[in-house]
Amino acid sequence: MDDMTPLITRVAGQVMSVNSYLVDAGAGVVVVDAQLCVSDARTVRVAVDATGKPLLAVLVTHPHPDHYAGAATLTAALDVPIVSTATVAAVIARDDAEKDRIVGPMMGEEWPTKRSFPDTLVEDGQTLRYGDIDVTVSSWGPGESHADTVWAVGDALFVGDLVYHDEHAYLADGHGSEWLESLTRLEARLTEASTLYVGHGAPGRVGLVAAQRTYVETFLRAVEDALDLDPAEGERLVLEAIRPLAGNDGLLFLAQLSIEPTIAMLRHAEDRSSAS
């Protein structure tokens, strides 16, 4: 299995449209990202159990709750490492109480009241061996989240939310310009053989990166154009600009949640520029 891409199974959440991936490591299964909701995490666990192989590890790509909150449900009654970089783990630990306060009421009974954080920390560039596969992590810094990472198994790249596919995106963490820089660096490293296993939407090839860049640029430009407008009118114009860039409105709320924080960030930047 070293010289070929292992069998990878995508499990898409039904309550929240987010992906987990089961990677067949021969002697067991590695899961990348753990879902947001209780029922979706249970679905991933059922898929793991159906393989007849043990769960070897859960890898977390970044610190947004739709990628880690279901880990306790997924690993219930199992002694399985939850793996991330130290930076991802630190952001999760720092922000989880706020996510509990905000996301918990939104999700109701689907919000996991028990949440397990990464307990096995790895360094940028480190390679881990699970069964027959080698998995290498790379840190990309702030971008879509406060700490994006990519897990690679040969030409299979688990990019988390660094790249979406035909879905609306979240920019509320305020790192839009850094995200664009990361996309440029990522595109330069990809080959025609690279497959991107994205956090939202179907896996795809290098062309997804250019589409993601267009989305981020369009969102940031539209928000800047809406700075001096009435909030409702500004939101309408932003959504009008980005809607044609996604295949559906299933995750439109992520973009809506991002407008106000992005306005605040832009105004803060203007104030600092004026002060200097």
Model confidence pLDDT, tens digit, residues 117-173: 999 999 999 999 999 999 999 999 999 999 999 999 999 999 999 999 999 999 999
The pLDDT of 25-41, averaged and rounded, is 98
The pLDDT of 59-77, averaged and rounded, is 98
Is 70 inside any structural domain? Answer: yes
For the whole model, what pTM was predicted? 0.95
What pLDDT is stored for residue 2 in this prediction? 43
Is 205 inside any structural domain? Answer: no
Is 128 inside any structural domain? Answer: yes
Q: At what angle do helices 231-242 and 207-225 cross, to 10 degrees?
A: 160
Instruction: Give start and end residues of each alpha helix (H) in the chain.
Output: 38-50, 65-68, 71-74, 86-107, 176-189, 207-225, 231-242, 252-275
**Token digits of residue 138:** 């790379």
What pLDDT is stored for residue 1 in this prediction? 40
The pLDDT of 215-221, averaged and rounded, is 98
User: Across the chain, what does the average pLDDT equal?
Assistant: 95
What pLDDT is stored for residue 266 in this prediction? 87
pLDDT of residue 223 exceeding 60: yes
What pLDDT is stored for residue 129 in this prediction? 98
Is 237 inside any structural domain? Answer: no
Count: domains in the chain = 1
In this predicted model, which residue has the larger pLDDT, 254 or 276? 254
Question: What is the distance of C-alpha 66 from the center of its chain?
Answer: 8
Is 66 inside any structural domain? Answer: yes
Query: Which tens digit of pLDDT belongs to each residue from 88-127?
Result: 999 999 999 999 999 999 999 999 999 999 999 999 999 9
CB 58 within 8 A of CB 71: yes
What pLDDT is stored for residue 270 in this prediction? 65
Question: What is the distance of C-alpha 38 from the center of its chain?
Answer: 18
Is 69 inside any structural domain? Answer: yes
Is 271 inside any structural domain? Answer: no
One-letter amino acid of 265: M
Q: What is the CATH number of the domain that holds 112?
A: 3.60.15.30
CA atoms within 13 A on the CB side of 239: 17
Place of tokens 């702030």: 142
CB 143 within 8 A of CB 162: yes
Where residue 272 falls among pLDDT bands split at 50, 70, 90? low
Is 190 inside any structural domain? Answer: no
Where residue 267 falls among pLDDT bands split at 50, 70, 90? confident
**Residues 22, 250, 103: CA angle, nearest 5 degrees:** 75
The pLDDT of 249-259, averaged and rounded, is 97
pLDDT of residue 35 exceeding 70: yes
Q: At what angle do helices 176-189 and 207-225 cross, to 10 degrees?
A: 160
Domain residues for the domain of 71 are 8-162
pLDDT of residue 243 exceeding 80: yes
What pLDDT is stored for residue 5 in this prediction? 80
